[in-house]
Amino acid sequence: MRSCNMWHYYLMLSLRSLKRSPTLYSMVILTLAIGVGALASNMALYQSMAADPIPEKSDRLFHVSLNSWPDEDSPHQQPLFVTRYRDAQQVLSSGIPTKVVAHYQTRVYTKSLDAKSLTRFAADTRATTPDFFALTNAPFAYGRSLSSAEGNEVVLGSDLNDKIFGGSNSVGKAVEIEGKPYTVVGVLKPWTLRPRFYHMEQDSAFRPTDDLFVPLETAIDNNWGVNGRSSSVDYSGDMASSRPHNRFYLSLWAQLDSAAQQDSFQQYLDNYSQQLKDAGEHPLAINNELKNVHEWADKLKVVDQRLLAFSIATMLFLIVCVFNASSLLLAKYHDDKSEMGLRRALGASRNQLFRQGFVEAMLVGSIAGSLALLLSWLFLACSVVLLPNLKAIAQLEPAVLGQGFAIALLTALLSTGYPLWRANRASISAEMK
């Protein structure tokens, strides 16, 4: 009980000290808040960029880069991150991965088949094979995944389901796409991936997950074009006639749950490339890559190194802020030496003065931390205005808020520590003169 009373007494002294020097403490708090706020906003951006989008199995999901370019003079760095239809079919039929997916991005316009309005909604669409949903752990609100790579089934993303069906359970209902009816078999919950690991190429890592998911063969048959990277050696005409041609547009992902699976699958890919080479269809060196989610993100440089450099700069700026705050407090404690000498003469120990200084630092840090969180939100809002492409990652997660507040408390302690130590070094007699 006595201990609680003492800490309460220290808090009252700290509040009295802040009221006595409001200008000085306002400068200290604002200095620390700006430094911590700038650092917290950069931490938020960096952690979003460097986040693990699927931590439960990111080390077991592999992007498949299969080099099967048919000419010696390739205009692209090999292996390409996209592949041909026939190569994708070879990978899909291997039977080795736990899950394997071939997909590409397209864009269509859709509406409810029964809607009286002619308004159609643009939908970023993923043409894919059925394993996509299990491989990515896509969360379903209603229904199920696609049952086949062909047919008239579709899965709606949460936002598109809200637009077309008002967010209700639309399983079994029909949508119209490009004049044809398709049955909704599943609806996803709101789904955010940062980064969107299954399609991180060409600065697409932080775009929203797709609005609509359709069978791969259906999309090709309907000539739904590729809304992304593709490359051709020979002219293939429309999508439906592209299957036997050297048109590279499909992305491949595989779930390999063991080292034995990985070795077996790598050997399978190399053997396939060797068969192409022996047939004279593949003149380049065999160079097939399996890279897990983190390795693939590193290769694509998803984390902007400029942001990392700026984060380091904000850390250095925070150090300067701590130094400036410490200088202000040093001047304040120097002016209060006579008061501290009087308290020492009346029986207060150095340990008690340090405790009171600790409480004062925590009070200053708490106020600075609260202000820093507000400033970090403001800095993020400004960054989105200046750089709209950061909108998807400019979010303050609870973990970052907690880290920012903890940093504010730490910086307040660091700022107070040296001035308080200096103030307690002098003898009582010197302080009382």
Least confident of 33-37, 177-181, 363-367: 363-367
pLDDT at 432: 47
Model confidence at 291, in pLDDT bands (50, 70, 90)?
A: very high
Higher local confidence (pLDDT), 200 or 309: 200
Asked if residue 417 has pLDDT above 80, the reply is: no
* Model pLDDT for residues 297-312, shown as the tens digit of each residue: 999 988 877 777 777 8
The sign of the torsion formed by the CA atoms of 40, 41, 42, 46 equals positive
Least confident of 91-95, 154-158, 296-300, 393-397: 393-397
Q: CA–CA separation, 405 vs 371, rounded Å? A: 9
Phi, psi (rounded to 5 degrees) for 242: -85, -15
Contacts of 251 (CB under 8 A, 6+ apart): 63, 81, 82, 83, 102, 103, 104, 198, 199, 201
Asked if residue 235 has pLDDT above 80, the reply is: no
pLDDT at 431: 46
Higher local confidence (pLDDT), 333 or 23: 23
* Model pLDDT for residues 117-160, shown as the tens digit of each residue: 888 999 999 999 999 999 999 999 999 999 999 999 999 999 99
Model confidence at 96, in pLDDT bands (50, 70, 90)?
A: very high
* Model pLDDT for residues 327-347, shown as the tens digit of each residue: 887 776 655 555 555 555 555
Cβ–Cβ < 8 Å for 156, 183: no
pLDDT at 343: 58
Residue 178 region by backbone torsions, left for phi larger than 0, else alpha for psi between -120 and 50, else beta: left
Least confident of 70-74, 215-219, 280-284: 70-74
Average pLDDT, the chain: 85
pLDDT at 288: 94
Contacts of 305 (CB under 8 A, 6+ apart): none
pLDDT at 202: 80
